[in-house]
Structure 1
Amino acid sequence: MLFHLSIDADEPRHVAEVLAEIMGGEALPFPSVIEGSWVALSGDARGTMIEVYPRGTELMIAKGDADAFGQINPAASRRSPVHFALATSLSFEDVFAIGAREGWTVKYRKRGGAFGVIELWAEDCRMIEVLTEEMQTEYLDTITIDNWRRMLAAGGAEMPAAA
């Protein structure tokens, strides 16, 4: 079970506010790792949150018994393989409206022919797969260990229908 994750952004506060809106939660400052960080809190029973650090933040191992800390790498790329799927109770149209309002690329995709996602590209560089309630059902019906094994046995091209 994933409780939280972190990403970086050019405008951490703004990105955290948009993510909190999608989750139905709240964005608040998150000063414990590096100044300028924000967190999107979902308000759900698991305490799900997304930490949003200033662009280029790299987490560093602290010496001894100290907590990890962040430092900015000014040469860091805006691109990364880091992405995540985020559940929402908002409608398909609401998510698209948020993307349009922000000027972020947003489009619908069907992953492996099995489940839909809305690709919302925060600041047009970080992919967030937003799943409406219908898409969440498709995802949960598809992403199982048995289905994954069947996909691999079939050559790995597409997820099979749920058994």
Structure 2
Amino acid sequence: MIHHISVSANDPLHVATVMAEVFQGYVIPFPPNPGSYITLAADDFGTAIEFYPAGSEIFPDSHEGQAGFQLNPQPTQYCAFHAAISVPISLEELERIGDREGWRVLFASRDGLFDVVEFWVENQLMFELLTPAMAAKYQAVFSPEHLPALVEQFALATAR
């Protein structure tokens, strides 16, 4: 279970506010890294996303032995990070929000196993958002009772 993640954004407050709309949640500041905000999903899992200013880096052992923050003056525009996250709203609502923000939103099937909505925050950071119906299919595919067959299917496909 992933409870929270952190990512960078060009406009952390705006992005956190838009994602709070998607999650039907809240936004609060994140004081340890100035200019950062947290979107709280207000769900039973404590789901949250911390949005840091672009170029933020986390490094070990800087503040009383805990992780600290520094700013890279030459951050990259894209990253390999993404997350699949269940949201309480529909595909149409995600498309409306994406259109309003000018962000790419794309319905996508992942090899027929499950569906997601590629939600491109600031057209740089991809979240795979799952509507309630999509989340149910995803959870069925990756349920503990179905995993052995899925693993075997992929093992056979890789062996070919």
Q: Is the TM value for this pair above 0.5?
A: yes
In structure 1, what is the equivalent of residue 101 of structure 2? 102
Q: What SS class does the counterpart of residue 154 from structure 1 fall into?
A: helix
Q: Superposition pairs for residues 12-161 of structure 1, below 5 Å?
A: 12-32=12-32, 34-63=33-62, 65-144=64-143, 145-156=147-158
- The one-letter code of the counterpart of 1:56 is G
> C-alpha distance in 2, partners of 1:64/1:102?
37
Describe the superposition over 1:69-88 as per-residue Cα deviations: whole angstroms up to 9, x where unpaired: 11110112021111111211
| Cα distance in 1, alignment partners of residues 89 and 156 from structure 2 | 35
Q: By how many angstroms is 1:151 displaced?
A: 3.0
Deviations 1:108-151 (A, max 9, x none): 00001111100010000100111001100111111243243123
Partners of 1:64 and 1:5 in 2: CA distance: 20
TM (norm. structure 2) is 0.91
Residue type of the alignment partner of 1:123 = E
SS of match in other structure, 1:52: strand
Normalized per residue, which structure has more strand?
Answer: 2
| Structure 1 vs Structure 2 CA RMSD | 1.4
- Give aligned-pair identity as a percent: 36
**Structure-2 separation of matches of 1:130 and 1:147:** 25
Counterpart residue type for residue 4 of structure 2: H
Q: How far is 1:67 from its partner?
A: 2.1
Q: TM-score, normalised by structure 1?
A: 0.89
Gaps of 5+ in 2: none
Deviation at 1:63, TM superposition (A): 4.4
Give the aligned residue type for 1:12: P
48-57 vs 19-28, greater mean Cα deviation? 19-28
Report the AA paired with residue 88 of structure 1: V
Contact 2:62 / 2:68 at 8 angstroms: preserved in 1?
no
Residue 14 of structure 2 aligns with an amino acid whose one-letter code is: H
Tell me the SS of whatever aligns to 2:107.
strand
Q: Say which is worse superposed, 141-150 or 126-135, in terms of deviation.
A: 141-150
**Whole-angstrom distance in 2 between the partners of 1:9 and 1:64:** 23
Measure the CA separation in 2 of the matches of 1:102 and 1:128.
15
| 1-structure distance, mates of 2:15, 2:142 | 28
Shift of residue 19 of structure 1? 1.2
**What corresponds to 1:5 in structure 2?**
5
> Residue 30 of structure 2 aligns to which amino acid in structure 1?
F
